[in-house]
Each structure stands twice: as structure tokens, then as C-alpha cells.
Amino acid sequence: MPTRLGSRLDTVWITKQTQPATLLILLTLLLIASIGALLTGTFDVDINALFDTAEPKHNNAWIIVVDLRLPRVLLAGLVGAILAIGGVVMQALFRNPLADPSLIGVTAGASLGASLAIVLFSATGVGIMSLTTVSIGAFAGGLAATYLVYRLAKRGGEFSVSTMLLAGIAVTALAGSVGNLMDFFADNAALRQISLWRMGGLDSANFERVAVVTGPAVVLLAAAIHHRKALNVMLLGDSQARYLGINVTRVRTGLIIAVAIAVSTSVAMGGTIAFIGLIIPHMARLLFGPSHRRLIPASALLGACLLICADTIARTILTPVELPAGIITALLGVPFFLYLLNRGAKYV
Amino acid sequence: MFKPSVISAREISVNIGEQTRIQTLSVNLYAGEILGLMGPNGAGKTTLLRALTGDLEPATGLIKLQGKALLDWPLEARAKIVGVMPQHTRLDFDFSVRDVVAMGRAPHTTGRIFDRECIKQVLDVCGLNELAEQPYTQLSGGEQQRCHLARCLVQIEQSTPSLDGCALLLDEPFNSIDIGYIEKIKCYLRTLAQRGLTIVISLHDVNLLAQLSDQILVLHQGHCVAHASPAEVMNPALFTKVFGVSVEVISHPTSNTPWAIPL
């Protein structure tokens, strides 16, 4: 029974008093993971070489760590945080612990947008600010799909969460089949590029891309934290939230826009990265309970941490070949998801 | 002395879809009054309550809260003075009982210390003290119902002793709650009414309703067929007409309220 998944599985592992300390520990873990990720790779960098200017390898080390790996780690962290917060927000808005950002069609739309861009313009075309046409296509596709889903759900002025769920499924299916049609007509080179892009990867990271993702990430985090109380109350249902003084329509519209923009941007920069939006909110809930006051910062930290680790594994495990990070997150995510399903079943 | 009404509905008709569920009904509710809604299933009790909460907009007529049109009230200001308990609430996330009850203070800015005192009191009234740290989803149906009732009771608590102008709308609040807790909660509702709170309550248990209410409004197929004190409303003729059942009405041995026994 899926609805039981939202339940705290046994008891919360940490008490309310120790929650701030645990958040600090997560932050420390994130820093350690980031430093680890900066120093490991095809070419392991010795931390001394980095700061010892007399060392002959110093310049090389500096270039690898700061110019190549730093933007990649930052991008991984931001994308991970966006997907995790997006997951938390979607699960609250849909009042369903199985929701994730792709439910509003954003991922499928972005995927289709990217395929279109690859087939029509070839991926090498450079757009604005070193963003490829693929990124722009993905961003536009994600936003367009979300807009379509939202319009369908709002038919007749009355918004319905279950209609939105169904509209999301329909739009995702539609985008999927149009995407398949693209695949059918694409030549071999384009086909390989499309499927690689779909697996998700952060190999094109640079500081411009980091800058582009930072804005939506900050806006999403701020919006989610600002509405943390409303998100809690909205778990009781729309009318109950209204009785408790929450302008449900305004909060929901604002948050869906923030999630759509942030997730579209992140998909545009990192491809579709599976499972973070679904499993990270669950992990955070296991640690902190369901209140959004702690859930939002905890999910952001855990999401960033997981994607940085997954990306580091992806680029080191088969050196010199780089795996797309999306493969690793799914490989890590599916077993955990099955474990949750299994645990959830005990309460039925 | 002229007493302004807290909630007034003037000739309202309410439709759900194509169907008219409430037909030109007028009712005035004053501070400290407990109004009971009686009627068979589908008579329009829930529809009337949902209109009074602003969930359903009347097709005709006007509802006013403290003299101002209900739908003109900002949600947050209204939530401070009107608490609503619908028949069903679904919550699939594992908040502790205390956290769920504390959501009732969400519209208020009375400070953490005051809120904690209010929460403590309603937890006590609803017999939830022992369960306060339990996860909500592991409670029984009756316990969950008490938890939501406590949340609504804590919502209308004000920093002043007087609750004049505040209202509590309860739709079958005692569903699956057992008789011991009902007694205690009933007493608490009475003290709230003495402090000036207006209460509208719908119950399928007519005897309980007669004990609790100052006035009873009987709905039958969307029409108001009686609106008077329990003693006047509770008569065999009305039961035959509205519920299609013959009853004998006796007097409760201690409270002297009317008590209907099906024959």
C-alpha cells in the first residue's frame, strides 16, 4: 500500500533536540564529500601539490582541481539539491510520498526538448552563455510540459491534484512517444547522443553552467523554506489548509513554478538523473520526521551529497571511461526504494 | 438589548453540481450559542456546514461573518476566529500527535509559550496526553478523530478569556469516539460556549445532539423544517415525518433533556 510509505518506519532515529546538530553533521559530510571528489579522479591529486607552488606539478594540479573538477562538483551539488527539494515539495503538494518532480511532466518534457534540439540543430550548436542548444531545448521543453500539465489540471477553474497527476502521466507518455518518434528518424550519431543525454551526466560542467543553475536553486530553496509551515498544513488536504488560513492556490502555483524552473534548468545541465527526487526525501524523513522545517534543509544537503558521490563514482569506477551519473543514482536508488516498499508493507 | 450575530446566512441556496442541496435557508448564530444540525443522511447538513465555512459559495443569498461577507474575509484572519472540523481528514505522513494538534495554531502569532499551554489543555481534554509523542498513522480511527478534534479546539483558542465572535463548525466530530471521551469533550464545548464561542455541530446521534445544543435546526431534503429548542423539536410527529420512524420521547433522568427511543 503506497500511502503507508510516508510513515516513519519505526521511530525517528534522532530526537528533536539533536536535529540542528545532525544538520551540521550532514553539512560536514557534504564538505568532506566535496573535497574528496575534488581530489579523486582519473588523476589523483595530492593535496600538498595543490598548495605547494614550488612543486613542479602544482600548475597541473591547480588546473585539474579548480578549473575542471570544482565546477563539476558544484554543479553536482546544486543539481542534487534541486532534485531533492523538488521531490520534497512535490510529495507535499500531491500529499503522496511516492511523488517526485517528474510527475508534473517536467523531466519528460525536457527530455523531448533535448531530443528535438539534437535532431534538428545537432548538439554542437552553441547558444547563449556557452549553453548548448540542447540545454536550451531541454529547459524550454520542461517548462512547456509543466505548463501544459498545469493548464489541464486547472480546467474549469477548479484545480484538482488527482487530475494533475493524471495529466502529468498523460503528458509524460505523450512526450515519451514523440521522443521515440525522434529516435526513429535520428541518424546513428544523434541517436547515441540522445541516449547518453537521457542517462544523465555532468561532464560538460563549467563555471557558466554553475552560475546558471545557482539562481533557480536558490529561489527554490528560499520558496520551500518560506512555505515550510504551509507545506505541513497542506498535508491535511486543500480545504483543511484553507481553514487554517493558507492560500492554497497561491502557494501551490508559486511552488510548482519554482520547481518547474529549477528542475528544467537542472535537467538541461545534467540530463535526467533518476531517483534522487524520490529517495532523498524519504531518507531525510527517516532521519528528521515529516516536518518540513528540517526536511527541506536536510534533503538539500543529502541530495547534494548523494549526487556528488554518485558523480565521483561514475567518473572513477571505469577510468578512463566516464559513466553517466544517472546510471549510478538509479543503481543506488532502486535497491533502497525496494527496501522502503518492503518495509512499508509491514504496516498493511 | 440588540445582539449582533456572529454568523448570519440570509436566504441561501447551495448547489452541488446541478443539484440544489440547500433551499432558501436563513439562520442567525449568536455568541455563546450551540446550534445542532439534525436530519437524515443526505439532508444537507454537511452542505450547510461547507457553505458556512466558505468552501461552497451559495448560488443565491449571502453569508456574513461578524457582519462582513464571508468570502471577503482574508483566509488568515478568518482562520484565527473560525475553526472547522470536516467529517474526514486523511493524513499519510507520520507527524506526532502533538505536531498534528500544533498545526491548529498555525494561523496564530500568539507565541510559543501560550501555544504550548493551549495544546497541553486540549490534549488533556481529548485524552491524548499519553499518545502525544506517538506517530499519527499508528493511531486507531477514534484516536485519529480525537487528534483532529483537538487540533480544531486549539485553533479557536484566543489570548483573551472571551471568545465572542469566534466560531467552531463541527461535522460529525464524535465519529468512532467512545462514550467516555465524548462526555469530557461535551463539557469542554459547553465551557467554550460560556466564554462566548458560537458552535455549529452536526451529529447523527439525535439524543446527544439534544443534550448539547441550545437550538436545533432540522433539515429535510435541503429545507429547514424546524428551528427551535431541543424540547420543541424532539417530538414523535417530526421523527415520523423526517426520519420515517416512530419514537417515544422521554426525559433524560438527570439533565431533563428530551430523549428519543425508537419503538
Q: What is the ipTM score, two decimals?
A: 0.92
Quick check: B106 and A245 CB within 8 A?
yes
Output the CATH code of domain A2-345.
1.10.3470.10
The two counts, helices (H) then strands (E), for chain B are 9, 12
By C-alpha distance, the chain B residue nearest A230 is: B106
Q: Which of A108, A171, A168, A167 is nearest to A138 (CA)?
A: A108
CA distances from A35 to A30, A57, A262 (A): 9, 19, 25
Residue A215 in grid coordinates:
539562481
The pLDDT assigned to A195 comes to 81
Residues of chain B positioned with their CB less than 8 A from the CB of A245 = 75-80, 106-107
Whether A96 has its CB under 8 Å from any CB of chain B: the answer is yes
Nearest to A244 among B96, B107, B135 (CB): B107
The pLDDT assigned to A20 comes to 87
The pLDDT assigned to A198 comes to 78
Whether A344 has its CB under 8 Å from any CB of chain B: the answer is no
Quick check: A246 and B93 CB within 8 A?
no
What is the tens place of the pLDDT at every residue in A24-68?
999 999 999 999 999 888 777 777 777 777 777 777 788 888 888
Confidence of residue A14 (pLDDT cuts 50, 70, 90): low
Quick check: B103 and A233 CB within 8 A?
yes
Residues of chain A positioned with their CB less than 8 A from the CB of B80 = 245
Q: Is the peptide bond before A97 cis (omega within 30 degrees of 0)?
A: no
CA atoms within 13 A on the CB side of A222: 6
Write the DSSP symbol of residue A55: S
pTM of the model: 0.88
Whether A245 has its CB under 8 Å from any CB of chain B: the answer is yes
The pLDDT assigned to B32 comes to 94
Quick check: A8 and B75 CB within 8 A?
no
Nearest to A290 among B75, B82, B95 (CB): B95
Write the DSSP symbol of residue A69: I
Residues of chain A positioned with their CB less than 8 A from the CB of B76 = 245, 247
What is the tens place of the pLDDT at every residue in A125-138?
555 544 678 888 88
Percent of chain A past pLDDT 70, that is, above it, reads 89
Nearest-10 crossing angle of helices A325-345, A188-199: 50
The pLDDT assigned to A157 comes to 64
Nearest to A8 among B80, B82, B135 (CB): B135
Quick check: A236 and B89 CB within 8 A?
yes
By C-alpha distance, the chain B residue nearest A10 is: B135
Q: Yes or no: say if B242 and B248 are a contact pair by the CB < 8 Å rule.
A: no
Q: Which of A125, A149, A146 is nearest to A135 (CA)?
A: A125
Q: Which of A96, A142, A112 is nearest to A258 (CA)?
A: A142
Nearest-10 crossing angle of helices A292-316, A19-39: 20
Higher pLDDT, A87 or A159: A87
Cβ pairs A/B, distance under 8 A: 81
Whether A286 has its CB under 8 Å from any CB of chain B: the answer is no
Quick check: A242 and B75 CB within 8 A?
yes
Rg (CA), chain A: 20
The pLDDT assigned to A67 comes to 84
Residues of chain A positioned with their CB less than 8 A from the CB of B137 = 4, 6-7, 347
Residues of chain B positioned with their CB less than 8 A from the CB of A161 = none
Average pLDDT, chain A: 84
Q: Yes or no: say if A175 and A145 are a contact pair by the CB < 8 Å rule.
A: yes
Contacts (Cβ under 8 Å, ≥6 apart) of A269: A75, A79, A135, A202, A204, A205, A209, A212, A213
Confidence of residue A191 (pLDDT cuts 50, 70, 90): confident
- As beta bridge partners, residue B62 has B10
By C-alpha distance, the chain B residue nearest A11 is: B135
The pLDDT assigned to A117 comes to 86
Whether A13 has its CB under 8 Å from any CB of chain B: the answer is no
Fold of B7-262: Rossmann fold (3.40.50)
Burial per residue of B182-206, b for 16 or more beta-carbon CB atoms within 10 angstroms, e otherwise:
beebeebbeebbebbbbbbbbbeeb
The pLDDT assigned to B72 comes to 93
Interface probe, candidates B46, B73, B93, chain A, greatest A C-beta count within 10 A: B93
Q: Which of A286, A281, A283, A276 is nearest to A308 (CA)?
A: A276
Whether A291 has its CB under 8 Å from any CB of chain B: the answer is yes
Unique residue bearing C-alpha cell 488560513? A245
Quick check: A239 and B96 CB within 8 A?
no
Q: Which of B55, B47, B151 is nearest to B95 (CA)?
A: B151
Residues of chain B positioned with their CB less than 8 A from the CB of A236 = 89, 91, 103
Higher pLDDT, A14 or A153: A153
Nearest to B91 among A11, A236, A239 (CB): A236
Whether A130 has its CB under 8 Å from any CB of chain B: the answer is no
Quick check: B137 and A289 CB within 8 A?
no
What is the tens place of the pLDDT at every residue in A323-342?
888 888 888 777 876 776 67
Quick check: A97 and B93 CB within 8 A?
yes
Quick check: B137 and A97 CB within 8 A?
no
Domain ranges of chain A: 2-345
User: What is the Cα–Cα distance from A165 to A153, expressed in whole angstroms?
Assistant: 8
Quick check: A245 and B107 CB within 8 A?
yes
User: Average pLDDT in the A139-160 region?
Assistant: 85
Residue B261 in grid coordinates:
427511543
Residue B112 in grid coordinates:
510559543
By C-alpha distance, the chain A residue nearest B54 is: A243
Amino acid at A220: L
pLDDT tens, N- to C-terminus, chain B (263 residues) = 567 899 999 999 999 888 899 999 999 999 999 999 999 998 999 999 999 999 999 999 999 999 999 999 999 999 999 999 999 998 988 899 999 999 999 999 999 999 999 999 999 999 999 999 989 989 999 999 999 999 999 999 999 999 999 999 999 999 999 999 999 999 999 999 999 999 999 999 999 999 999 999 999 999 999 999 999 999 999 999 999 999 999 999 988 899 999 98
Long-range CB contacts (< 8 A, 24+ apart) of A190-195? A190/A118, A190/A119, A190/A122, A190/A123, A193/A118, A193/A123, A194/A114, A194/A115, A194/A118, A194/A119
CA dihedral for A239, A244, A249, A251, sign (positive or negative)? negative
Amino acid at A77: G
Unique residue bearing C-alpha cell 502533538? B98
User: What is the Cα–Cα distance from B65 to A238, expressed in whole angstroms?
Assistant: 22
Quick check: B92 and A243 CB within 8 A?
no
Long-range CB contacts (< 8 A, 24+ apart) of B187-194? B188/B125, B188/B153, B189/B34, B190/B34, B192/B153, B192/B156, B192/B163, B192/B168, B193/B32, B193/B33, B193/B34, B194/B32
By C-alpha distance, the chain A residue nearest B94 is: A7
Nearest to B93 among A243, A247, A290 (CB): A290
Nearest to B103 among A95, A236, A247 (CB): A236
Count of C-beta atoms within a 10 Å radius of residue B138: 14
